[in-house]
Structures are given as C-alpha cells and as structure tokens.
Amino acid sequence: MKHKENPERSHPNEVRIGLVSISDRASAGTYQDEGIPALKNWLGLAITSPLSTHERLIPDDAETITETLIELVDELGCDLVLTTGGTGPGRRDVTPEATLEAGTREMPGFGEQMRQISLRFVPTAILSRQVAVLREIEGHAALIINLPGQPKSIREILEGLKDADGKILAAGIFASVPYCIDLIGGPYIEANPDIISVFRPKSAIKPRP
C-alpha cells in the first residue's frame, strides 16, 4: 500500500511522531488524559531535532486502535508512533493485539527492556504486554511502540534508570530509537544527552554542521 501525499517536512530531519492515548474513560471525557501530556513534555526535553506531533485520544477498541496507527503512518507520514495505555491483562486491554495487526514485523527487544525496567519497581511488571512493531509500506516505514499509561512509568521507560552519580542502571528504550529510525530510512534524530544518551555505531554518527 502506498501512503497518501502529506505536507513537506519543515526540515529534512524533522521527525514526525504520533502520540496515541488509549482509554475508554479519557476518550469519553470522564477522566483527564495524562499520557499525551507526559509524552509531549518528555519528547520536548529529549529531542533537539525539529519535531512535529500528531495526537489521538481513542477508546480501548482494537479496530479503532489499528486504524489509527495505520492512519498516522500511511497518511500523515509519522516516523515514530508512541501509544500509552491498554497493555495489561484486562479484557479491554487490546493495544498489543491491535498494534501487531498494524505492524509488518515485530521488534521484541523493546518490550523485553520495558519490562526489565519496570520490574525494578514492581513485581507486577510481568503482567505488562507492551509490544513494538515496524509498519512498512511503499516508500515509508515507521516504528510503533506501546508504552504504559502512568507518566512516571513513561519517563522511566523512555529515559532509563540512573544512580545518584548518574551511572546508567538500565538503559531507556529511547536510546535505541534514533538508530532504528535511521535503519528504516527515517530522519536523523538528535537528542539532549542530559536527558537521554542516544547510541549509534561510530559509522552511523553524522558530524554536526
């Protein structure tokens, strides 16, 4: 499937990120969504490249989730899509299944590392079912990652854990996101090293202009 034409990027390295909060209550207006504001705040601090976001607040409905992820990638040209919510064992927690439906290939390392980080805080982290996938269409590809719903957990998983001296105890998953985007043909994402230390092989690091 070829994606629809979308507006030109404001800069060659502009990264387009879709932010999807999945919650029956928040989408119905009975609960204040905290996922998207937490994501926007962290991304604004962490990413130093030009950045644009597309936000969606939707219910825990598998078909709606899949359609939303496809829209963000195929029609709006997002390079990265981050979802929050709906990854537990409850009957209405269908985000992982809907994400797999939208993906063309799974990226299991992200889910493995997310659970390793969360297990440092609560044993119930093993109940989390977050997944990550690539969605690949003609001329474009994107990385889609499920995140938890709590702002504190979102930051910990993206940023990782450090001790009092700043030594990394567990690498945050975002450390690997820019290089993944490189490998699938997306823009070159740079980050604030005070927030997250992005890893790339030396051969993949571009000199600053």
pLDDT digits (tens, 9 = 90+) for 36-51: 999 999 999 999 999 9
Whole-angstrom Cα distance, residue 128 to residue 195? Answer: 25
pLDDT digits (tens, 9 = 90+) for 83-93: 999 999 999 99
The domain total for the chain is 1
The answer to whether residue 4 is domain-embedded is no
CATH code of the domain containing 36: 3.40.980.10
| Planar angle of CA 83, 85, 86, nearest 5 degrees | 110
* 138 contact partners, CB below 8 Å, separation of at least 6: 1, 2, 3
Q: How many other C-beta atoms lie within 10 A of the C-beta of residue 95? A: 27
The answer to whether residue 8 is domain-embedded is no
The answer to whether residue 78 is domain-embedded is yes
The answer to whether residue 81 is domain-embedded is yes
The answer to whether residue 199 is domain-embedded is yes
The answer to whether residue 192 is domain-embedded is yes
Give residue 84's domain range: 15-203
State the pLDDT confidence band at 7, using cuts at 50, 70 and 90: low
